[in-house]
Amino acid sequence: MRKQTEERIEKINQLFATYGEMTVRQIYYRLLGQLGLNYRQVCYLCKVGREEGLISPSNIVDRSRPIYGKKMWEDKKDFVEGISDMFNLDYWIDSKVRPQIWTEKDALSQVLYDVAREYNVDVYVSRGFLSISNKDRWGGSNIAVLYFGDFDPSGLFIDKDLEVSVAFENFERIALTEGMTKGLPSVPLKKKDPRTPSYVAQYGYDCGWELDALDPNKLKDLVKKSIEKYVDFDLQQKKEEESEIRRQLYDIE
């Protein structure tokens, strides 16, 4: 293996030490500013690194391919312990507004949920434009939608489409906003996208920015701050109540 390849793989491992598990696209954006590599080169480094045992397979995640199956238990005791850990208290049942995280980016859903789960807030993934079926199921009254998406012609139109087609009380684009794009690596616009001309006319940009390019720690901080604006209860007290119920369930014979 060439010394340059080893050095680049070491850069990737340094990213894991800082951010934890990442998608290949997140790795690409973090390295873009340091090494100027294209996406294919990053894919190659991740492939070789894992094949040679230099990158732990668990550090690179692919969240776009879920596995479906039944949850199975070893015995009754294993089942009771398992369901005890699965119990989650509805922190928001008495709140005036219930926040939800919505995003077009399936690949970043776990990053968002890593923070949202601390507040028992759900994450909804549209994977681009929301299907008609889910437009009838999502939303509702007393909901605050905290939206995370790309800053490009389609990305900006997705939340506009949601605003007019899904019923909810409040909607706020948390990221990406125009101000957040400064200093982020950009991508060329899709010329065939029918929304490109109006985007260029409004913003004057010949490029767009993907949510994946945002520093993962910055992204997590945005999730935390956006949710905490709606917390109208004692979070620690809720967690203690939740833990006590789990303990009681654990003691069931």
Q: Does the pLDDT at position 1 exceed 60?
A: yes
Between 34-38, 91-95, 153-157, 188-192, the lowest mean confidence (pLDDT) is in 34-38
At 66 the pLDDT is 67
How does 26-45 read in b/e, with b if 16+ C-beta sit within 10 Å? bbbbbbbeeeebeeeebeeb
Q: Does the pLDDT at position 79 exceed 80?
A: yes
Q: How many residues does the chain have?
A: 253
Average pLDDT over residues 25-30: 86
Percent of the chain topping pLDDT 90: 47
Q: Does the pLDDT at position 165 exceed 70?
A: no
For 140, 163, 169, 172, the CA distances from 137, given in Å and listed in that order, are 8, 14, 15, 20
Position 171 confidence tier, pLDDT thresholds 50, 70, 90: confident
Q: Does the pLDDT at position 134 exceed 90?
A: no
Q: Does the pLDDT at position 167 exceed 60?
A: no
At 33 the pLDDT is 66
Average pLDDT over residues 178-186: 93
CA distance 9 to 46: 7
Q: Does the pLDDT at position 62 exceed 90?
A: no
pLDDT averaged over every residue in the chain: 87
For 110, 219, 238, the CA distances from 235, given in Å and listed in that order, are 22, 22, 5
Average pLDDT over residues 118-128: 87
At 208 the pLDDT is 93
Average pLDDT over residues 202-223: 93
At 63 the pLDDT is 67
